[in-house]
Chains A and B, each alone.
Chain A
Amino acid sequence: MILEAKGLRKLYGEFCALDGVSLGIDAGEFVSIVGPNGAGKSTLINILTGVVRPSAGTVRFKDREIGGAGPARLARLGMARSFQLVHVFPDLTVLETLQAAVVARLGRAARLFRSLARDREVQAGALEVAELFGLADKRHVPARQLPQGDKKLLDVASAFALKPVIILLDEPTSGVSTADKTAIMDTLVTASKRIGLRAIVQVEHDMDIVFAYSDRIIALHQGKVLADAAPGTILADQRVMDTVIGRKAASPRALSC
């Protein structure tokens, strides 16, 4: 098991965002986390990526306890993530962005007087990822000038450039047109094979994407795991389908744990 969470609980004052969530991600899996708004998906991914410290419970990554370790350390351990809202470096070009990721992966971020331009490994590594994500033609374009879809792609690509063991994607296709969604997902899956990624975890609202790509689906509802099963099983479970994709919105709740 690459990533394992046990009994995760997160309280924000009286509000209970996560109420005893346990899950495990195995090598080779593509897992989607779904659930209505307010189900605790964002909190869960923030805890798994070490940004938020859980009120109770443990997260183990590569057999190491990582609760609240901080994103920079996790990145160095081999866990990458992308954000729901696009995060790019507005003034850096595509290539520079990817170079930064490669520099960080190789542990060369503190090299003061070495020439970046002459670091072949960094240059080649960045270019390779750019090509993988179809951004090679735009490698000298500053991120701010990219269309929205490419920004999203660059965000994900820079996470891939870390050559992580596992990657957690927070709505990788949000804010992108339906036509581009499949393209992004296909690129992502191809790229993950090429760089030897061991597992992908995504939070996603688009059920077509979820069912088309996932090996396993974890459905969250009111801070608890409602279901954790293969797509086929989920599809057959009317109760889960109603809660997760049902027309009725999630009822407001202020349960105390």
Chain B
Amino acid sequence: MKGGLAVALGAGAIAAAPLVASTYHVLLMLPFMAYAVVLLGLNLLFGYAGLVSFGHALFIGLGAYTGAFLTTHAKIRSLEVILLAAAALGALVAVPVAALCVRYVKIYFGMLTLAFGMVFYTFVLKFYRLTGGDEGLPFLRPSLLGQSLDAMPKTDYLVGPYYYYSLAVLGLAALGMWRIVHSPFGLCLKTIRDNPAKAETLGIGVTRHRFYAFVISAVYAAVGGALLGPPTGNVDPTLAYWTHSGNIVFMTLLGGFTSFFGPVVGAFVFIYLQNWVMSVVPYWRLIFGAMLAVIVILAPDGLMGFVTRRRPALAGRT
């Protein structure tokens, strides 16, 4: 029950943050919560199905652009509608992509997802009229639960209603994912990660399970991507760029893919650390690259690895 207590404390701390922390830090919590949603989904693929995608920026971008497009072009401002649309579109795009990608594993899977991600990136960049090209699209302030909050000053809106809205989405997303990984489906995914040939002889449809996991993770990424938009008020193609895909894999690894909340912790640490490093020197990639190298070599279970002390499945296998 220690785990439950830690989660309750974490959730409590996030909920209390706007009351005690400075606005600056509270604003940083917004991308953290958005990424946390993305990573919960990504880790279903990475930690539970053993597939590392280098193209999930596609779905983040898709979610973010869905929101931007709806608010600017379609005059739809309801965040509920935006999130649902992002989820639906994420699933829609994920179906063909997943159908192709899950036929491969390891490096082929990684490179194929990267190629798909870059197709989307190129699309966003080139179809200027729809996406605004490299300038991106504005993401107008969405209304929450039918309440238009346009009159509110931007910061008040973000640290107030939008903050708690994000937290609620994150909570729901975590709850949903918790149920998924503790369901029969989740167990079957783990068998596939550990030994696909054996899973097959037990009558578990390997490709089918990987496919579902991919689609679910894409939906999570799209929802998280849509949440990334309102804090900056703008979405641009870098969201869909392949290094962005790499960064979210990095976050997952940083927190630890072997534990359920590892990626959430990873997102938190990544965002704060990146912000802090950038305030000191502009070359955060240099430092983060070195950090990633160290993690890969010395601590493949990430930060949560120090807590759980369980040898990861992937690291020991060749």
A residues lining the B interface (CB < 8 Å): 49, 70-76, 80-83, 87-92, 96-97, 99-101, 103-105, 108-117, 119, 122, 155, 158-159, 162
Known: A72-B206, A73-B203, A74-B203. 18 other contacts (CB 8 A): A70-B200, A71-B203, A72-B201, A83-B198, A87-B197, A89-B190, A92-B187, A92-B191, A100-B202, A101-B202, A104-B188, A110-B184, A112-B180, A112-B212, A113-B183, A115-B183, A119-B184, A155-B198
A100 close to B185 (CB less than 8 A): no
Q: Does B179 lie at the interface of the complex (its beta carbon under 8 Å from any beta carbon of A)?
A: yes
Q: How far is the CA of A103 from the CA of B187 in the complex (A)?
A: 9
Determine the residue in chain A with the shortest Cβ distance to B190: A92
A109 close to B194 (CB less than 8 A): no
- Which residues of the partner chain B approach A110 to less than 8 Å between Cβ atoms? 184-185, 208-209, 212
B203 close to A75 (CB less than 8 A): yes
Contacting residue for B202 out of A49, A104, A113, A117, CB 8 A:
A104
Determine how close the nearest CB of chain A comes to the CB of B48; give it in whole angstroms. Answer: 11
A97 close to B201 (CB less than 8 A): no
A108 close to B184 (CB less than 8 A): yes
Contacting residue for B204 out of A49, A104, A116, A159, CB 8 A:
A104
List 26 contacting pairs A-B, 8 Å CB cutoff, sorted by A.
A70-B200, A72-B205, A75-B201, A75-B202, A76-B203, A80-B202, A82-B201, A83-B197, A83-B201, A88-B194, A88-B195, A90-B313, A90-B317, A91-B193, A92-B194, A100-B190, A100-B191, A100-B202, A104-B204, A108-B184, A111-B183, A112-B180, A113-B176, A113-B179, A116-B182, A119-B184
Contacting residue for A96 out of B190, B201, B205, B208, CB 8 A:
B190
Determine how close the nearest CB of chain B comes to the CB of A196; give it in whole angstroms. Answer: 18
0/1 string, B288-318, CB within 8 A of A gives 1: 0000000000000000000000000100010
A112 close to B185 (CB less than 8 A): yes
Q: Does B63 lie at the interface of the complex (its beta carbon under 8 Å from any beta carbon of A)?
A: no
B186 close to A116 (CB less than 8 A): yes
Determine how close the nearest CB of chain A comes to the CB of B222; give it in whole angstroms. Answer: 18
- Which residues of the partner chain A approach B209 to less than 8 Å between Cβ atoms? 109-110
Q: Which of B183, B203, B205 has the most CB of A within 10 A?
A: B203
Determine the residue in chain A with the shortest Cβ distance to B197: A87
B residues lining the A interface (CB < 8 Å): 176, 179-180, 182-188, 190-191, 193-195, 197-206, 208-209, 212, 313, 317
Determine the residue in chain B with the shortest Cβ distance to A112: B185
A100 close to B197 (CB less than 8 A): no
Determine how close the nearest CB of chain B comes to the CB of A187; give it in whole angstroms. Answer: 19
| Chain A-chain B contacts (Cβ-Cβ < 8 Å), number | 115
Majority SS of interface residues in chain B?
A: helix
A71 close to B201 (CB less than 8 A): yes
A112 close to B183 (CB less than 8 A): yes
- Which residues of the partner chain B approach A97 to less than 8 Å between Cβ atoms? 191
- Which residues of the partner chain A approach B187 to less than 8 Å between Cβ atoms? 92, 96, 99-100, 103, 116
- Which residues of the partner chain B approach A104 to less than 8 Å between Cβ atoms? 188, 202-204
Determine the residue in chain B with the shortest Cβ distance to A89: B194
A91 close to B194 (CB less than 8 A): yes
- Which residues of the partner chain B approach A116 to less than 8 Å between Cβ atoms? 182-184, 186-187
Contacting residue for A105 out of B176, B198, B203, CB 8 A:
B203
B313 close to A109 (CB less than 8 A): no
A88 close to B198 (CB less than 8 A): yes
Contacting residue for A114 out of B183, B193, B197, CB 8 A:
B183
A103 close to B198 (CB less than 8 A): no
Q: Which of A71, A87, A91, A114 has the most CB of B within 10 A?
A: A91
Q: How far is the CA of A99 from the CA of B202 in the complex (A)?
A: 11
Q: Which of A71, A83, A100 has the most CB of B within 10 A?
A: A100
- Which residues of the partner chain B approach A96 to less than 8 Å between Cβ atoms? 187, 190
- Which residues of the partner chain A approach B201 to less than 8 Å between Cβ atoms? 49, 71-72, 75, 80-83, 87, 159
Determine the residue in chain B with the shortest Cβ distance to A105: B203
Determine how close the nearest CB of chain A comes to the CB of B71; give it in whole angstroms. Answer: 31
Q: How far is the CA of A155 from the CA of B179 in the complex (A)?
A: 28
Determine the residue in chain B with the shortest Cβ distance to A161: B202
- Which residues of the partner chain B approach A100 to less than 8 Å between Cβ atoms? 187-188, 190-191, 199, 202, 204
